[in-house]
Structure 1
């Protein structure tokens, strides 16, 4: 029998997560997709979260565990590393295994037999919509799944921090009268939007957040130089010609994009561009992914007013928009990014904080003000 959970949040969220995976997989099958992972039951979700939570509070050799669990039978995993003896799914066993499996991309495989959950080994290759549970830090768990494309960041489903539960709102990319606000930004949870092309902005955001130094990325139209009115000149690190390595990679045939060599090259270029955002000032790229400058200092352009208020939302169930002064959304990075988007309304600003918060600023035509999207929960 699966052990009864003692982590209250696991019981509270299990049914919602089970429904999410059942719906996602049903829709994927209707689209004709193959190689879809089995969906977890409510009891399985609850047991996995419970074991992972208590493991996250333990330490092995003085270190807190950072692990990833994948609910999948070994025969459906790619090139699995199999234990000769299955290990019961307990917080003790997860903590002991953690030092050997903390590298990115390594999942501890979990399955059940005779009503008991067990850890069967590790794998780097899992099926589409496979239930994945990441232990990011003590008390912080992220439920996610692999996208149907098989490449890029996993789609987050829920974030649990102690007793706080945040369920990702899949409808947040279709706000009334503002379809472009989120759908044209990142399209986080929509498999179709991800499959249409590799979403470079998503991966840049992940890489910016990962370097932990904070930074600002301004995305401007390729067919206009009006953005230059909103930065101080001369720019110390302007690029001439524009750096176009990402652009050239994205021009390659879709067949080539499935190759590991292309994917590796894309990751390297994304990390390189994201690294520039750690330099004081903003990195500027256009919507064709050409890097135009970094270390750029933002200023209010002539004839524009100071931004006095912004609307802030977070794409989680139950979140309500609030209107605040931009200084209340963060520090000087957030204020300058809000001013830039206020003046350059066809631009987007991505801002990473050193504490892990991540905000995307865009102009909202329905609110007629800058819209700050808090997306930390999507990038964990």
Structure 2
């Protein structure tokens, strides 16, 4: 059996080459560029990654990323004294040893090699990610280029967080909500990606700050007092304020509006900004870890955290929902609740049906991520599925 399952003219390979490949007649600058220009080598690498995704090492499924880069372009990497030839066996062992930091691979006349482990990738780098059993993704500069899942290749209609938000807003008639809360999705990704990483899954309920009607439909096991509920909210606001002040100080120094005696003050401001950024990132992750307890995490769009371990209350009504595939853009109407999955998904749909100002993110134990929302244009609950494919960078922390 031929181990190369990707034809050289596959749309998956074509998506990789069109994103960064050199123009016809150009000489590749390094062996990574040579790999991206060589459809046969790319096809073999993608095939090896696919077969590796089906393997297990010490009872664990293989996960991880491949960075297509050469040593001359990498910012920080640990190089092997002797490069390791790319093979399914070698990929399984190396990805098991380095599930977080990408393996560095390049090609060329000498063949495909893993030359090291990358700790800081080149800006705008190209990647392959083994994201599950038989699931392979290609990305460039954080934008998803192509997805192979269950033997089918899809080219996403949205490629990054911004275009995905536009797709959801346009399809479900939520343009106004996007304008009001445009910065929310990126922040929530940090929370739900933590829920995916810890393997237990979880639900995150989002409410509107000015609407308390949801409270009668939520029974908290653990509820925060008002001061504690504002910790993340205050941390993010302080970070944003300090970052703006530091930027203004830098602009004033560069333009000559302030003297060099302001340099120490400016450095102190940037140190404070760095501290607050780290604090906020840590708080986002800790909120995601609250999903380890059965029950939902509840917060509002302004990042006030109300509690966790919450039971969602709803009626026994049966209804259909609409589903939007975040990768293909396909919209299905009149989907029965039973087709959504387990109780966590069905509970989220029922809760949103009864509390239409709320949204719910549900992370499954197998790594799937869905968003449940009320769509006025459809007059029903809409479920945006396969959002996990857009957590590309965040899932690594």
Instruction: Compute the TM-score of the two structures, normalised by the length of structure 1.
Output: 0.76
Aligned residue among 200, 211, 215 for 1:224: 211
- CA shift, 1:125, in A, is 0.8
Higher relative contact order (CA 8 A, sep 6+): 2
Corresponding position: 1:125 with 2:120: yes
1:319-334 equivalence runs, <5 A: 319-334=330-345
SS at match of 1:6: coil
Gaps of 5+ in 1: 27-36, 148-154, 188-192
| Gapped regions of structure 2 (runs ≥ 5) | 24-31, 247-269, 393-397
Q: Is the 8 A contact 1:133 1:141 kept in 2?
A: yes
Equivalence for 2:368: 357
Cα deviation, 1:75-122, whole Å, max 9, x if unaligned, reads 2212221223333333343234334323x1x11111234363322211
- 1:331-342 to 2 correspondence within 5 Å? 331-342=342-353
TM-score normalised by length of structure 2 = 0.73
Give the helix-richer structure, 1 or 2. Answer: 2
Contact kept, 8 Å, 2:17 with 2:36, in 1: the verdict is no
Hey, what does 1:368 align to over in structure 2?
Answer: 379
- Could you give the per-residue CA deviations for residues 206-260 of structure 1, whole angstroms, max 9, x where no partner exists? 111222223221111112212213224xx33222114233223322134669976
Aligned with residue 358 of structure 2, among 322, 341, 347: 347
Q: Residue in 1 aligned with 2:87? A: 90
How many matched pairs?
344
Change (3 A) 1:263 1:117: farther
Compute the displacement of 1:317 (Å): 2.4
What residue in structure 1 maps to residue 154 of structure 2? Answer: 166
In structure 1, the partner of 2:284 is 270
- The 3-state SS of whatever aligns with 2:317 is coil
d(CA) in 1 for partners of 2:3, 2:272: 41
Instruction: Check if 1:294 corresponds to 2:308.
Output: yes
Alpha-carbon deviations, 1:265-318, whole Å to 9, x = none? 3342122211222323322101111111222222238xxx93612101211226
**Bigger radius of gyration:** 2
Query: Please, what is the CA RMSD of the aligned residues?
Result: 3.6
Give yes or no for contact 2:138–2:145 (8 Å, CA) kept in 1: yes
C-alpha contact (below 8 Å) 2:4/2:43 kept by paired residues: no
Matching of residues 1-380 of structure 1 within 5 Å: 6-8=4-6, 12-18=10-16, 21-22=19-20, 40-41=36-37, 43=39, 44-58=41-55, 65-102=62-99, 104=100, 106-114=101-109, 116-147=111-142, 155-161=143-149, 163-170=151-158, 173-174=166-167, 176=170, 178=172, 180=174, 184=178, 199-232=186-219, 235-241=220-226, 242-251=228-237, 252-253=239-240, 254=243, 261-300=275-314, 306=317, 308-317=319-328, 319-374=330-385, 375-379=387-391
SS at match of 1:116: coil
Bigger drift between 8-17 and 72-81 goes to 8-17
How far is 1:60 from its partner? Answer: 5.6
CA deviation profile, 1:174-209 (whole Å, cap 9, x unmatched): 354645379839x9xxxxx7xx68811111111112
Please report how far the alpha carbon of residue 373 of structure 1 lies from its aligned counterpart in structure 2 after TM superposition. 0.6
Change (3 A) 1:177 1:318: closer
